[in-house]
Amino acid sequence: MWNAVGQVLPAAVGVALSPIPIIAVVLMLTSPKAKVNGPAFVVGWLLGLAILGAIVMAIAGPAESGSGGSPSTGASWLEVVLGLLLLVVAVRQWKQRPVGGAEPESPKWMAKIDTFTPVKALGIGAILAGVNPKNLLLGVSAAATIAQTGISGTQQAIAYGIFALIATIGVGVPVVIYFAMGDRAQAMLDELKTWMAHNNAVIMSVLCLVIGVKIFGQGIAGL
């Protein structure tokens, strides 16, 4: 099981360091409903990852593993495709980085965060965790990798649960800071939001490049 966790650790870190979700949760923590919307967002994030993992592991379960405990050819090709897609995302993010001191554009829905209900905060968290293209690719890769290790269903669930918890650190830490520090957390969270907004494209480009190469390499090695 720990071998499976080790294999998906880079992907978990990649999901955790997602700037847009971190900016979103910080904005929620400055809204009138911060005390409910912040935790709701994190719960939604975990729910999105859980649903994604359950679907992928059910499809790419251990029954498809190759002989001798090695990954099946199909699983290896899946990793090759996922790796290539992440490399495409890396190139696109790099091209979209702000240059010459330009202010980065935020998604339009962020302007309405002050009006979010807890249910909407939960829904946005689930979408950003499981449907966001970069996180979707990383989540699918992690779940498929765990499923192909040949460990039992219970161990798969535990390994993916560890992946999901690590992947939640990025959006969970601001919420912990908010409840631990109260009003004193405002300046720290504002600085985090500003830094993430200005470096979003570069962070995503580097993460997708490194993890994409790793996943692509794993796929090639398994063919």
Average pLDDT rounded to a whole number, residues 80-86: 88
Q: Which two tokens stand for residue 164?
A: 């999901």
The overall average pLDDT reported for the chain is 84
Between 120 and 214, whose confidence is greater?
120
Check: CB of residue 54 under 8 Å from CB of residue 140: no
pLDDT at site 12: 92
> Domain of 18?
2-222
Check: CB of residue 185 under 8 Å from CB of residue 177: yes
pTM: 0.82
Share of the chain above pLDDT 90, in %: 31
Average pLDDT rounded to a whole number, residues 87-115: 79
- pLDDT-based confidence at residue 128 (cuts at 50, 70, 90): very high
Locus of tokens 């830490």: 173
Q: How many CB atoms lie within 10 A of CB 106?
A: 14
Alpha helices in 70-184, H assignment, sequence order = 73-95, 118-130, 133-147, 153-167, 169-181
Between 83 and 103, whose confidence is greater?
83
Residue 60 has pLDDT above 70, yes or no: no
pLDDT at site 67: 46
When divided into structural domains, the chain yields a total of 1
Average pLDDT rounded to a whole number, residues 162-187: 90
Average pLDDT rounded to a whole number, residues 91-101: 77
pLDDT at site 107: 76
pLDDT at site 70: 56
Q: Which two tokens stand for residue 158?
A: 């535990």
Average pLDDT rounded to a whole number, residues 188-198: 83
pLDDT at site 45: 96
* Least reliable range by pLDDT among 69-73, 125-129, 159-163, 210-214: 69-73
